[in-house]
Amino acid sequence: MFIVNSYVLAVVLCVVTMICWGSWGNTQKLAAKSWRYELFYWDYVIGILLFSLLIGFTLGSIGSQGRPFCEDLAQVSGATVAWILVGGIIFNLSNILLSASVSMAGMAVAFPVGVGIALVLGVIQTYFVQAKGNPTLLFIGVLLVVVAIVVNGMASGRLQKGESSNKKGIVLAVVAGILMSFFYAFVSKGMDLDNFVAPAVGKATPYTAFFLFALGIFLSNFLWGTIAMKRPFQGEPVSYKTYFAGSAKLHLVGILGGCVWGLGTVLSYIAAGKAGAAISYALGQGAPMIAALWGVFVWKEFKGADKTTNRLLLIMFTCFILGLALIVAAGE
């Protein structure tokens, strides 16, 4: 299987992760013109599962190092499967809430709040699971991200005062972020993060872990996805009949979103062995900065904002960039 042996390459892959995680929401925005997010989300989940198989049979099966995908999948223990599936179930619930938040409050608000909270809480958890990197630089970087989250909330409040849907969207983003902070700790328990070349028996390689994680997302969506469709946070309930009546183009947009997110996720797992779980997770969760850029400059979600709001957005971007730079430096 393909294994990363360089810290610099690991950081590059984490940056790609950040871009992918911050960009998949664009597919939801594209589909939203004629497709409810609850319906989009099914295609997104299917895209993740399909991509996990594609990457497993390609990068996960080439090279002379480590266990190939099928061989590794055959030897994982029941405990490993359980840990990673639970991680997928938790993530799926949090991501459905994040998608609902995007549909109400926009990418520039939902991602910095939801994923930012997940970054802060998740880095703390993963660092104690695998203490790799300079803790001072790492946690100063996390603190700057917290400042960015707060400032983003202030900017959003100035732009959309009194809009109930926006307030509900922010609440959903907060809940999503808290839930999302837990999933990676479960996934990492099923992997041997210290040795991808000769991982412990019963533990999963990154490619197998990603497949099991994607399977947990897909299976749990029959519960979480159905609840979201029958009891939506906004609008009327939607049916599976409506989903199957959707055009091929709409379904492909959702599947593309799942593939984009999946690429970012598997690269994060691959990079974790060299960069460390906390740093890999933290860099990937810099996605709110990317999503905010899309939201501000492409989707014009802050169109008509006054000078003070624009200054707050500038402070937010600056804090995110400085925070991420310190997180990178923490692993040197």
Residue 216 has pLDDT above 80, yes or no: yes
Contacts of residue 25, defined as CB under 8 A and 6 or more positions apart, other chains included, come to 102, 107, 110, 111, 257, 291, 294
pLDDT at residue 327, as a whole number: 78
- The per-residue pLDDT for range 254-272, each reduced to its tens digit, is 999 999 999 999 998 888 8
pLDDT at residue 331, as a whole number: 66
pLDDT band, residue 138 (cuts 50/70/90) = confident
Q: Which whole number is the average pLDDT over 8-37?
A: 89
**CA–CA dist 231, 241 (Å, integer):** 16
pLDDT at residue 221, as a whole number: 97
Q: 145 or 310, which is more confident?
A: 310
pLDDT at residue 131, as a whole number: 67
pLDDT band, residue 5 (cuts 50/70/90) = confident
Most confidently predicted of 61-75, 151-165, 214-228: 214-228
Task: Identify the three-state secondary structure at position 191.
Answer: strand
The whole model's pTM is what? 0.85
Q: Which whole number is the average pLDDT over 128-153?
A: 80
Residue 278 has pLDDT above 70, yes or no: no
Whole-number mean pLDDT of the chain?
Answer: 87
Over the range 287-299, which residues count as b (16 or more CB within 10 Å of their CB) and which as e? bbbbbbbbbbeeb
pLDDT band, residue 121 (cuts 50/70/90) = confident
pLDDT at residue 50, as a whole number: 98
How would you write 211-230 as a 3-class SS string?
HHHHHHHHHHHHHHHHHHHH
Structure token digits, residue 259: 């593939």
Minimum mean pLDDT range among 50-59, 62-71, 216-225: 62-71
Residue 47's nearest CA partner among 290, 331, 266 is 266
Measured torsion, CA atoms of residues 145, 148, 153, 155, in degrees rounded to the nearest 10: -170
pLDDT at residue 54, as a whole number: 97
Q: What percent of the chain has pLDDT over 90?
A: 45
Residue 97 has pLDDT above 90, yes or no: yes
Q: For residues 276 and 129, is the Cβ–Cβ distance under 8 A?
A: no
**CA–CA dist 250, 38 (Å, integer):** 13
Minimum mean pLDDT range among 56-65, 92-101, 223-232, 296-305: 296-305
- The per-residue pLDDT for range 306-320, each reduced to its tens digit, is 889 889 989 988 998
Q: 47 or 118, which is more confident?
A: 47
Task: Give the N- to C-terminal CA distance of the chain in Å, as an integer.
Answer: 25
Residue 101 has pLDDT above 60, yes or no: yes
Residue 98 has pLDDT above 80, yes or no: yes
**CA–CA dist 113, 174 (Å, integer):** 6
**CA–CA dist 223, 218 (Å, integer):** 10
If you write DSSP's letter for every residue of 54-111 in order, what string do you get? HHHHTGGG-SSSS--HHHHHHH--HHHHHHHHHHHHHHHHHHHHHHHHHHHH-HHHHH
Residue 83 has pLDDT above 70, yes or no: yes
Q: Domain residues of the chain, as ranges?
A: 35-330
pLDDT at residue 255, as a whole number: 97
pLDDT at residue 274, as a whole number: 80
Distance of CA 139 to the CA centre of its chain: 20
pLDDT band, residue 40 (cuts 50/70/90) = very high
Residue 119's nearest CA partner among 264, 260, 289, 331 is 289
Residue 157 has pLDDT above 90, yes or no: no
**CA–CA dist 282, 277 (Å, integer):** 8
pLDDT at residue 163, as a whole number: 54
